[in-house]
Amino acid sequence: MSPEQAPRLLYVADPMCSWCYGFGPELSRLLERRPGLALDLVMGGLRAYNREPMSAAFREMLRGHWRHVAQVSGLPFSEAIFAKEAFVYDTEPACRAVVTARALDATRAFGLMKDLQSSFYRDGLDVTRAEPLADAAARCGYDRASFLSAFDSESMRQATRADFARAQSLGVTGFPTLAASFDGGLYLVASGYAAAGVLEDRLAEIERRLATGPSTQARDAR
């Protein structure tokens, strides 16, 4: 398959999804091995617009999830966020930060998303607030003031809602979800965590099916 025919990858995720954090290095390895692939980000809104502080039961549920992801991925997790008694697990600001980054310079947006994941999970920073989000943007090469201005705009709030709606329209119910887009068709690569080698094998199989001709039927990203 020529570079012109190579499928684009559609990645539906949330920066504050622990499995997306675990999946990030695997997706990065795939992109390193297949530099011709383009990546389109769609934010899913895992717990967007939540206004309730974390309960004790919710904290324990998160601890369990995080330990599982740590075991599978080998990535570090800080439990500093659990010490914040009134912490509200609202993923909309982090999603909006990625949407804003995508609007300003899409080539840096995935890097920003990974930075936010490391800031939250590894470093225990509160990425529901604008200042840490702007700090991450500056580390990734964005102008801090321009980023903050765009981040706080109604247009970026609306664009973020549009991402959530798009994820729902695709039938995505869990994150991460990775699909390959080719010639109007959307082909599921992974629903949930998968290692880079598995992603390569699945993508190669999709490309083989695409090469068989127009009779190949696309699968959606459900």
- From the list 147, 162, 215, 196, the residue with the least C-alpha distance to 9 is 196
Question: What pTM does this model have?
Answer: 0.92
Question: Which stretch of 106-110, 140-144, 165-169, 204-208 has the lowest confidence by average pLDDT?
Answer: 204-208
Concatenate the DSSP letters of all residues of 41-83 into one string. Answer: EEE--TTTT--SBPPHHHHHHHHHHHHHHHHHH------GGGG
Q: Is the pLDDT assigned to residue 215 strictly greater than 50? A: no
pLDDT band at 219 (very low <50, low <70, confident <90, very high): very low
* Pairing between β-strand 185-191 and β-strand 39-43 as defined by DSSP bridges: unpaired
Burial of residue 171, with CB atoms counted within 10 A of its CB: 0-12 exposed, 13-18 middle, 19 or more buried? exposed
Question: For residue range 39-65, what is the model confidence (pLDDT) as tens digits?
Answer: 999 999 999 999 999 999 999 999 999
With cut-offs at 50, 70 and 90, classify the pLDDT of residue 6. Answer: low
Write the DSSP symbol of residue 219. Answer: P
Q: Is the pLDDT of residue 1 over 50?
A: no
Tokens 């990625």 correspond to 98
